[in-house]
Amino acid sequence: MSVLIVLVLIASVVAFFLLRSGENLRFGTPSDPHRVVMAAIGIVGVKRRWEIMAQSDHSAHFSYHRRPKIPVAIILLLCFLIPGIVYVLLAGKRESLVVNSDAGTAGMTVVQITSNGFRGKAAGRALQRQVSVPAGALGAGGTPVLTG
């Protein structure tokens, strides 16, 4: 039984660090930087309910803050100590997401998205799917259509 508790504790610590790790995405798009920022505000700020901390024509900074639900935390802590601790650590958190764009050469805009948690990773990847182009698409004549 004590071996099981130790394994659950180790798995909880590993999950904690994997979910808290950030990510840097970099991709190109034919859209201008202002359109990329507007798409980021639409996708991240509105659909995913992140708070917009700062915005310019070439960048946007978002913040997400969520506290653990108190009744769930109390029940988990009273009944299952380790899952309760993991819930309190992972459910209540602050994350940030930064979107920077730079109009590069040959009509391409380079976009860099930096996040510090799993919600930011998902939001950044959703933005990437929306505005990026597959490799070689511009040479073949294909361009993305921004949909909202």
Q: Which residue has the higher pLDDT, 41 or 21?
A: 41
| pLDDT above 70 coverage of the chain, percent | 84
| Structural domains of the chain, with CATH | 2-131 (3.30.310.80)
Side chain identity, residue 3: V
Output the pLDDT for position 58: 92
Between the alpha carbon of residue 58 and those of residues 111, 113, 134, the distances in Å are: 9, 12, 22
Q: How far does CA 139 lie from the centroid of its chain?
A: 30
Q: Convert 108-124 into a string of H (helix), E (strand) and C (coil).
A: CEEEEEEECCHHHHHHH
Rounded to 5°, the CA angle 124-128-134 comes to: 155
Output the pLDDT for position 8: 78
Size (the chain), residues: 148
Between the alpha carbon of residue 128 and those of residues 2, 26, 57, 105, the distances in Å are: 45, 9, 18, 20
Residue 52: is its pLDDT beyond 70? yes
Residue 65: is its pLDDT beyond 80? yes
3-state helix, strand, coil in the chain (%, to 5): 45, 25, 30
Q: What is the pLDDT of residues 2-34, one digit of tens each?
A: 788 788 778 777 776 666 667 788 888 888 899
Q: What is the pLDDT of residues 68-100, one digit of tens each?
A: 888 888 888 888 788 888 787 777 778 899 999
